[in-house]
Amino acid sequence: MKNLIKEFTKGIIKENPTFVLALGLCPTLAVSVSVANAIGMGLAATFVLLGSSIIISWVRNFIPAKIRIPCFIVIIATFVTVTELCLKAYSPVLDRALGIYVPLIVVNCIVLGRAEAFACKNNLSRSFLDGLGMGDGFTLALVLISAIREFLGSGQLLGHTLIEGFEPVFVFGMPSGALLVIGLLLGFFNFLKNKKI
Amino acid sequence: MTNNFSVSGSPHIHKQGSISRIMWTVVISLIPAGIAGIIIFGWDTLWITLAAVVAAVLTELIFGILTKKKVTVLDGSAVITGVLLAFNLPSGVPLWLPVVGAVFSIAIGKQVFGGIGQNIFNPALVGRVFLMASWPKYMTTFTAPFKFDAITSATPLAALKAGRVLEHISYLDLFLGKHGGCIGEVCILALLIGAALLFIKGYISWHIPITYILTTAVFVYIFGGNKLFGGDWLFHILSGGLILGAFFMATDYVATPLTAKGQLIFGVGCGLLTAVIRIWGGYPEGVSYAILMMNAATPLIGRYTKCRIYGSR
């Protein structure tokens, strides 16, 4: 039981996909302009990760090793299509804001990485918890980055102005600001990691 | 006497210079330009410079204490960063702007890479580019010279970019600094006095500044005018931050190549980039971006211009 809980929690801090494994940085850089986008993107990726982890773990014994990557991609693409169509139907605003990055979850390295490194080697319950933990870790990382960027870049948080008279630092709304924030947070998490050991 | 005959490995010939000596000399060499800035744009410039220096030194001190390294405040490198950053700001900016810029320069431009001697970019320029990208409104509003009540005026380069004719500015005005611009870049005369001090002391070599300025001049002369070989090269040398950049920022010891050959390549690269940005780029001025880009190329230049070890093939 303790092991199972560990599978879930490792994705949030110890093996956080963004800050420790440094996977999936492309969508992280692109959609972390506002917290609303980050939550949407995080939940979409979590759903795909969870679904693909379950299915891949379930059918892992039937997939021939030589063509496993195409098989993973088909399974992942199925869930991405479901997500995309749901977004288009129920939240067209968010769909427009995320744009190309929702279909690109197919090739998101976190999803494929967990399928290859974890789900195809572990049983259903462990893969389920791993997918959920990694998805949550990704979402939390995105929210953290986007909160910093949205606050500094536009003086707002979730669209509400926090401090009157704050002069927004435009650079944090631009790609260079995203690289800066992610770089500093990566450094900070590495610092924490090195300190513990 | 015994000290003169100590047995040791090479190098055997020592110079008097130390880091702090060089750094403080550079600070002194920047004073004429600072005084010129005060004369041209008023006392505000002094407060801006002081704010940047104090913020830079305090940031350096705090980082030194936090990282438990030898505190390098007294060697003057943080002071230079503060002064150079302030010299790259317009004179009408609110006082928090140089403070934020200086903190960013030292913290992100220098200390995260490991402090003095480790930075890959010129810290002052990192700060300036950060401010330029963050608050363009303040960074591109220039005060007119000798009018202390905040009448704005375009810099000569910005006016040229907008296609306006500049008949009322003579080359002498440009040389003495009687035009809109950043605090420390306008008075070429004062900058040259400071640069002469550095040359006499031997703290900077001619390679980077001269190739930088010449390349910009030649390129602008060929491509800058309405027809080929018709560009106003003297105007381009005397306006904008070219002189300040070439003598004081492109000669930063840390982020530039070590060998003479490498420095020539560095200077030519800076010159080409500056001229290209000025003629065809979106910004009127490209000195800071040119130097930063060549800073990024410095490791590559260093790799291809290694000195041959004596006796090796």
Q: How far is B130 from chain A (nearest CA, A)?
A: 7
pLDDT in tens, B10-60: 777 766 668 888 888 999 999 999 999 998 888 889 999 999 999 999 999
As a whole number, the mean pLDDT across chain A is 86
Does B171 contact chain A (CB < 8 Å)?
A: no
Res B1: pLDDT? 44
Q: Which of A120-129, A159-168, B182-191 has the lowest mean pLDDT?
A: A159-168
The confidence band for B157, taking pLDDT boundaries of 50, 70 and 90, is confident
Q: At what angle do helices B188-201 and B19-41 cross, to 10 degrees?
A: 170
Q: Residue B6 has what pLDDT?
A: 61
Which residue among A167, A176, A187 sits closest to B133, beta carbon to beta carbon? A176
**What is the amino acid identity at position B166?**
L
User: In the structure encoding, which two tokens stand for residue B242, read together?
Assistant: 């070219």
Q: CATH code for B20-301?
A: 1.10.3430
- Which of B128-142, B150-164, B225-239 bottoms out in mean pLDDT, i.e. has the lowest? B150-164
Rounded to 5°, angle at Cα A96 from A92 and A99: 130
Q: What is the ipTM of this complex?
A: 0.78
To the nearest whole angstrom, how far is the Cα of A23 from the nearest Cα of chain B? 23
CA–CA dist A169, A156 (Å, integer): 11
Q: Which chain B residues touch A185 with a CB distance below 8 Å? A: none
- pLDDT of B7: 67
pLDDT at position A26, please?
Answer: 83
For chain B, give the percent of residues with pLDDT over 70. Answer: 90
Phi-psi region of B76 (alpha: psi -120 to 50; beta: other; left: phi over 0): left
Asked if A187 and B130 come within 8 Å (Cβ–Cβ), the reply is no
pLDDT at B207 over 80: yes
Q: Judging by beta carbons within 10 Å of its beta carbon (0-12, 13-18, 19+), is residue B241 exposed, middle or buried?
A: buried
Q: Does the beta-carbon distance from B108 to A180 stay under 8 Å?
A: yes
B175, two tokens: 């040389």
| DSSP string for residues in B45-92 | HHHHHHHHHHHHHHHHHHHHHHTTPPP-STTSHHHHHHHHHHHTSBTT
Q: What is the pLDDT of residue A196?
A: 67
* Segment B196-206, tens digit of pLDDT: 999 998 888 88
